[in-house]
């Protein structure tokens, strides 16, 4: 076990790294953040911020020498960086696990290899791949960048092969995956923590609503059936085991109107839809991340209260500061801001959690609070 007083490394300085840093420091650890942004949200609160690129070998050597263990806050850290660090110190998740989640084609093929259903998809690597897609996939479909796409970026809805050709051209003919659009009933996700000996602890399944490809709200508990909940958790655990994953991770799922449950994406890290755990669970997803990294026993994931999480994007700012007074006048509204210096449209600036006796009540309060927040 790596005990309090030790130094932990974080690759990435965004909001997920910031919340990990807060959890680790609360537990008595020191944190060194590596991020090229001088004003990164995690870097400004860390015990030390190393401002350098993720593939700078001399920097990585210094980081490994200074840290008892290292983790990451997002999947686009080069897997080669983790592989280099693995030879020098404790690193979780592993480079091999990360590599399987960095490319959507590789990820979907991996999930399917486990016998877990995914939406029908095709790899699009060149124009020739588009020529005979009509008989292989139904439309509408969504063309997605295979690498580096998130929060709806690099995604285009296509009604037929001609749309795919145009979208592929607009995406500069980068490697893509064409995914059949699902007759969607709802979207859910589950966050889990897997230990170094393979024990898994699951947080409650969350129900998510996206607007323009970006998560807007998460409600817990979900309204899905007990059987659906069990299936989602079983699939997520099977994915974690297949990756031999160590740490906190999430899996997103589609539930179709026909009742099919399809795995969508793996997040090899804490997840936006898990932010409710900061206020509504006995242990947060970030404390679990610290615990798994340090080989400590898992914390209790029990839900203490029904909750709704609402993301706060830069859109809310407009010409004035958001209406914080209205939001904070409600005692069970829990505000979390990320320390980002500049608000931009679509940029995640923070979130708030609403605790209430039921998810219905929490959602009513949350949506009213959100409307008041942007009233300025």
Could you tell me the fold of the domain covering 184-373?
D-amino Acid Aminotransferase; Chain A, domain 1 (3.30.470)
Residue 361: both structure tokens together: 């009540």
Q: What does the alpha-carbon distance between residue 359 and residue 80 come to, in Å, rounded to a whole number? A: 43
The structural domains of the chain, with segments of one domain joined by +, span 7-91, 120-180, 184-373
- Give the helix ranges, DSSP H, for the chain: 15-26, 57-66, 79-86, 95-99, 104-113, 161-170, 226-243, 277-280, 285-293, 324-328, 359-373
Cis peptide before 249 (omega within 30 of 0): no
Say which DSSP state 276 is in.
T
233-266 in b/e form (b: 16+ CB < 10 A) is bebbbbbbebbebbbbbbbbbbbeeeeebbbbbb
Q: How far are the Cα atoms of 4, 25, 123, 183 from residue 7, in angstroms, in the given order?
A: 8, 10, 42, 47
Work out the average pLDDT over 125-153: 84
Beta strands in the chain (DSSP E): 7-11, 30-34, 48-50, 69-72, 90-91, 121-124, 141-145, 155-158, 176-180, 184-194, 200-202, 206-211, 214-220, 247-256, 261-267, 307-313, 333-337, 348-355
What pLDDT band is residue 152 in, cutting at 50, 70 and 90? low
Work out the average pLDDT over 30-54: 97
Q: What is the pLDDT of residues 206-225, one digit of tens each?
A: 999 999 889 999 999 999 99
What pLDDT band is residue 320 in, cutting at 50, 70 and 90? confident
User: What local confidence, expressed as pLDDT, does residue 154 receive?
Assistant: 82
Q: Is the pLDDT of residue 121 over 70?
A: yes
User: What local confidence, expressed as pLDDT, does residue 376 receive?
Assistant: 57
Place of tokens 């609070």: 369
What pLDDT band is residue 128 in, cutting at 50, 70 and 90? confident
Work out the average pLDDT over 255-281: 97
Share of the chain above pLDDT 70, in %: 98
Cβ 32 vs Cβ 13: under 8 Å: no
Q: What does the alpha-carbon distance between residue 14 and residue 35 come to, in Å, rounded to a whole number? A: 9
Q: What does the alpha-carbon distance between residue 256 and residue 187 come to, in Å, rounded to a whole number? A: 9
Pick the CATH number of 120-180 from 3.40.50.2300, 3.10.129.10, 3.30.1490.20, 3.40.462.10: 3.30.1490.20
Q: Is the pLDDT of residue 174 over 80?
A: yes
Q: How far are the Cα atoms of 182, 245, 349 from residue 153, in angstroms, in the given order?
A: 19, 27, 17
Q: What is the pLDDT of residues 286-311, one digit of tens each?
A: 999 999 999 999 999 999 999 999 99
Which CATH architecture group holds 7-91?
Answer: 3-Layer(aba) Sandwich (3.40)
Q: Is the pLDDT of residue 277 over 70?
A: yes
Among candidate residues 241, 164, 253, 147, the one with its CA nearest the CA of residue 206: 253
Work out the average pLDDT over 320-326: 91
The least confident of 50-59, 194-203, 306-315, 317-326 is: 317-326
Q: Does the reported pTM lie above 0.85?
A: yes
Q: Is the pLDDT of residue 153 over 90?
A: no
User: What local confidence, expressed as pLDDT, does residue 375 receive?
Assistant: 57
């Amino acid at each position: 076990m790596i005990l309090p007083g030790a130094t932990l490394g974080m690759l990435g300085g965004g909001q997920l790294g910031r919340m990990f840093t807060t959890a680790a420091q609360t537990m008595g650890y020191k944190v060194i953040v590596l991020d090229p942004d001088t004003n990164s949200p995690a870097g400004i609160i860390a015990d030390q911020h190393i401002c350098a690129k993720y593939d700078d070998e001399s920097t990585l050597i210094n980081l490994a020498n200074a840290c008892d263990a290292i983790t990451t806050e997002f999947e686009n850290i080069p897997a080669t960086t983790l592989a280099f660090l693995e030879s020098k110190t404790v690193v979780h998740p592993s480079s091999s696990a990360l590599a399987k989640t960095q490319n959507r084609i590789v990820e979907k093929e991996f999930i399917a290899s486990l016998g877990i259903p995914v939406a029908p998809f095709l790899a699009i690597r060149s124009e020739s791949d588009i020529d005979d897609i009509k008989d292989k996939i139904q439309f509408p479909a969504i063309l997605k960048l295979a690498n580096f796409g998130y929060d709806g970026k690099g995604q285009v809805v296509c009604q037929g092969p001609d749309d795919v050709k145009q979208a592929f051209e607009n995406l500069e003919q980068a490697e893509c995956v064409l995914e059949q659009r699902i007759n969607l009933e709802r979207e859910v996700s589950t966050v889990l923590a897997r230990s170094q000996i393979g024990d898994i602890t699951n947080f409650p399944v969350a129900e998510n609503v996206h607007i323009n490809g970006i998560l807007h709200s998460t409600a817990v508990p979900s309204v899905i059936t007990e059987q659906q909940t069990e299936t989602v958790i079983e699939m997520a655990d099977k994915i974690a085991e297949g990756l031999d994953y160590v740490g906190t991770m999430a899996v997103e799922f589609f539930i179709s109107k026909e009742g099919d449950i399809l795995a969508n994406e793996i997040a090899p890290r804490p997840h936006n839809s898990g932010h409710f755990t900061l206020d509504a669970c006995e242990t947060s997803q970030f404390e679990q991340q610290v615990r798994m990294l340090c080989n400590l026993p898992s914390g209790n994931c029990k839900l203490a209260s029904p909750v709704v999480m609402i993301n706060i994007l830069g859109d809310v700012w407009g010409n004035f500061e958001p209406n914080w007074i209205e939001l904070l006048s409600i005692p069970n509204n829990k505000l979390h801001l990320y320390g980002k210096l500049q608000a931009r449209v679509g940029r995640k600036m923070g979130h708030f959690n609403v605790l209430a006796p039921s998810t219905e009540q929490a959602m009513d309060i949350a949506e009213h609070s959100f409307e008041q927040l942007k009233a300025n």
